[in-house]
């Protein structure tokens, strides 16, 4: 999946240019909130996929290199995923999922 930032920028700019400023601000604020929620979820899922790959491969540094992470960053992500699993932290699904 690839998303074009240029296309997104053009779409949002056109939207902002055709609406009242306060309406555009509220809509952009809502879009920003939703993107941040998606980022939290994808980060959570990425950490747990990394942990699964480390368990399967047995070599944390090599798995991290496959996706361009430093050894330290890989270690930090694996530790956080282990903590989340140990403490049964649920994926961040936002307020509507509660």
Q: Does residue 95 belong to any structural domain of this protein?
A: no
Q: How many domains does the chain have?
A: 1
Domain for residue 81, yes or no?
Answer: yes
pTM: 0.83
Q: Which domain holds residue 50?
A: 5-89
Q: Is residue 97 part of a domain?
A: no
98 in any annotated domain: no
Answer whether residue 41 is part of any domain. yes
pLDDT in tens, the chain (98 residues): 567 888 888 888 887 888 899 998 999 999 999 999 999 999 999 999 999 999 999 999 999 999 999 999 999 999 999 999 999 999 998 765 43
In sign, the C-alpha dihedral spanning 59, 60, 63, 64 is negative
**Angle in degrees, CA 90, 77, 91, rounded to 5:** 15
């Amino acid at each position: 999946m690839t998303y074009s930032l240029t296309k997104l920028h053009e779409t949002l700019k056109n939207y902002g240019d055709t609406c009242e400023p306060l309406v555009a601000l509220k809509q952009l604020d809502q879009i920003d909130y939703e993107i941040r929620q998606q980022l939290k979820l994808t980060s959570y899922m990425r950490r747990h996929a990394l942990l699964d790959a480390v368990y399967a491969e047995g070599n944390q540094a090599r798995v991290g290199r496959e996706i361009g992470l430093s050894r330290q960053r890989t270690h930090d992500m694996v530790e956080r995923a282990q903590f989340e699993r140990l403490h049964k932290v649920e994926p961040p699904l936002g307020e509507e999922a509660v």
